[in-house]
Amino acid sequence: MVADKTTILVVEDEPAIVELVSFALREAGWNPVAVNNAGDAWDFIQRRLPHMILLDWMLPDQTGLRLLSRIRADRNFNELPVIMLTAKSMEEDKIAGLDNGADDYITKPFSPRELTARINALLRRKRPDHSQSMMRAGEVTLDPVSCNVSLKDQKIDIGHAEFKLLKFFLAHPDRVFSRSQLLDKVWGDHVVIEERTVDVHVLRLRKVLKEAEYLIKTVRSVGYMLSEK
Ligand code: CA
């Protein structure tokens, strides 16, 4: 089975809220990882890029707003979806958060249902590859729910990395990505994997796609793209 859970980094110092939020996220099928200060959050995203951050406004070491500015100033993270959590419902806070690049903002106390609805809406908006609908190109289909990939309705065996790569390409057809972009966007971890590894996985992906390998194009001296043309 291919594990492809959406990882959500929860940056919050109040244990009761961490517990509530983590429970709600797990129930919704996501993978929550919690840290209780801005420094640990920053360290975490250097090692592993989450799909989204839930960021508390008041943290022990610095404000969530300050961390948000730092995230947005870094080109590796400026697309990362961020929802601010705040105990205050003051309009100026909301505006400051959105000005600094928050994608959305939730006022405490909130219900788990409200939280998951807002996360779902943001994931849909920011990351079309996280939608739950069938993805296809040519005679290849990928089911994001069951994680099955089929060629002419025959299920094919595919490795975890090749699955993630294919899913990313299907979500962004006809767009060329460099090896480093693929590393950032598909693996979300620029420490462990080298750019050469991308070539290896592209090679393997083409192999499992058999006659549909033509979908994955090499764009000389730039990178790779998926295209039916
Ligand atoms: Ca707090």
Q: How far is the CA of 126 from the centre of ligand 1 (A)?
A: 26
- pLDDT at residue number 189: 54
- pLDDT at residue number 185: 81
pLDDT in tens, 153-189: 999 999 888 998 999 999 888 889 999 888 888 877 5
- pLDDT at residue number 2: 35
Q: 190: pLDDT confidence band, cut at 50, 70 and 90?
A: very low
Q: How far is the CA of 199 from the centre of ligand 1 (A)?
A: 43
Q: How far is the CA of 140 from the centre of ligand 1 (A)?
A: 46
Q: How far is the CA of 158 from the centre of ligand 1 (A)?
A: 43
Residue 112 has pLDDT above 60, yes or no: yes
Q: How far is the CA of 66 from the centre of ligand 1 (A)?
A: 14
Q: How far is the CA of 46 from the centre of ligand 1 (A)?
A: 22
- pLDDT at residue number 4: 61
Q: How far is the CA of 59 from the centre of ligand 1 (A)?
A: 5
DSSP for the chain, written as a single string: ----PPEEEEE---HHHHHHHHHHHHHTT-EEEEESSHHHHHHHHHH---SEEEEES--SSS-HHHHHHHHHHSTTTTT--EEEEES---HHHHHHHHHTT-SEEEESS--HHHHHHHHHHHHHHH-GGGS-S-EEETTEEEETTTTEEEETTEEE---HHHHHHHHHHHHSTT--B-HHHHIIIII--TTT--HHHHHHHHHHHHHHHGGGGGGEEEETTTEEEE---
pLDDT, averaged across the chain: 87
Q: How far is the CA of 55 from the centre of ligand 1 (A)?
A: 9
135-226 matches 2-126 in CATH topology: no
Domain 2-126 has CATH 3.40.50.2300: yes
Q: How far is the CA of 86 from the centre of ligand 1 (A)?
A: 8
Rounded to an integer, the average pLDDT of 93-115 is 84
pLDDT in tens, 120-163: 888 887 765 545 678 889 999 998 778 899 999 999 999 888 99
Rounded to an integer, the average pLDDT of 57-76 is 91
- pLDDT at residue number 31: 94
- pLDDT at residue number 186: 83
88 — alpha (psi -120 to 50), left (phi > 0) or beta?
Answer: beta
- pLDDT at residue number 78: 77
Rounded to an integer, the average pLDDT of 16-31 is 94
Q: How far is the CA of 13 from the centre of ligand 1 (A)?
A: 5
Q: How far is the CA of 99 from the centre of ligand 1 (A)?
A: 20
Rounded to an integer, the average pLDDT of 84-103 is 78
Q: How far is the CA of 74 from the centre of ligand 1 (A)?
A: 24
Q: How far is the CA of 200 from the centre of ligand 1 (A)?
A: 44
- pLDDT at residue number 3: 47
Q: How far is the CA of 109 from the centre of ligand 1 (A)?
A: 12
Give domain limits for the chain: 2-126, 135-226
Domain 135-226 has CATH 3.40.50.2300: no
